[in-house]
Amino acid sequence: MSADTVNSNPNGVASEVPGSVDAGVVPKASANGLEFLQSIDGETDFQYLLFDDNLVTVSDTGKELGEFTVTVEPTKYKSQELFLIHANSHGAIDGVPCGTSITCYVTKQLETIEQQHHEYVKLENCPLDRKTFIVRQEEGYVVNRVITQREDVQRTAKTIALDTMQGFISEGSNLLLHRLLIEKNFPDDMQLLSFDSDANLSVAVYKHLEERSQNVEGLDMRVFGIERTIISTTDLPTTWQSYFSGDCHLTNRVQVGSPVTMKLAQIPTAIERDEEPPKPTFEKQPLNWEEDMQLYSRFLDRKEELKGDHAVYMRHHPELKALLADFLQFLLLRKPDDVLSFAAEYFAAFSNTMPSSSPYMASSTSTPFPASRTNTGIEKLRTPTR
């Protein structure tokens, strides 16, 4: 009936799970669970997951007892872009009104910022009302509980360090996580953290269930299942089994051992997804620009443009003619083996970025262009012949 524990089996029956958690051990999320949460892309992964779910609650005899609704929408809360998740379940079991309500703000990485969880069972002689408030603060998560049973009111408060809560998934964020688990592939036996019915930090194990067929409005739907088990440190494990359609709509939800089941009564409207068109592929073609009239014409235009620019520059700088004449004479005189290095050294003297050399430096001073001074022909002329 409830989204959490209002409809827990009165006999405490739950499915068997491997292993247990000692009361003195601090629960921790598994490495693959933390990796899955870190892999969530909040901008794209939830693009088609923000919709409403509406189910009816029925008994094991098929009698309708109430309804269960889940809404997820983007919102801005305390200057943050978050998701607002609201779940509500109400009805009557054996004539006793009961229900639960969850209002939760989570980030796009499913980190809970704030959650209000209200559960009630209106027994005639002993009504029970339980409220749990979770708020994320700088020092950690602050958990406040108020349990009212007739005139008895119990209040508790505690703070849990943030590093201890790594991988924590609240009841509200769990509803959105289930949709994401159907949308994306997740490792079996993935372990995260959650609270048990007494707000004790516990391990939550997620498993795949086998696909099956579910009849809705006379049509057979292929549904996909996820099993979630909270392994409490102080009580028996509690297990929920949830089934979803291919577009992640919740179709069935039950707490193992409970006589109450939540089922989809009407087929929801399918959400149209924008499919990306296949990217075109182009074969690499050889570029024969000389045979292409357009490219060859552009080449000639660019060539004439550069020649014109050079001519204009030469006209505006007549000193270049004298400079080039001196360079050519010097080049013919030295006849260096490496003409490029020789030219670099020659014109470096006219650059304002090169350090100026002292006129008193010896001619044998090292040069950044040593190859410019190697000329076997000149060396032979310098060597006296006998």
Round to whole Å and give the CA distance between 277 and 47.
18
pLDDT given at position 174 = 97
CB 100 within 8 Å of CB 89 = yes
pLDDT band (50, 70, 90) for residue 382: low
Round to whole Å and give the CA distance between 99 and 94.
13
Rg (CA), the chain: 39
Per the structure block, which two tokens stand in for 173? 């964020």
| Residue 294 burial (CB count, 10 A) | 8
pLDDT given at position 167 = 96
Round to whole Å and give the CA distance between 196 and 183.
26
pLDDT given at position 323 = 84
DSSP annotation string for 185-199 = ---TTEEEEEE-TT-
pLDDT in tens, 245-295: 999 999 999 999 988 999 998 888 776 676 656 667 767 777 777 888 888
Coil, helix or strand for 58? strand
pLDDT in tens, 3-58: 443 333 333 333 334 444 455 678 999 999 999 999 999 889 999 999 999 999 99
The counts of H helices and E strands in the chain are 6, 14
User: What sections of 272-355 are H helices per DSSP?
Assistant: 293-316, 319-334, 339-348
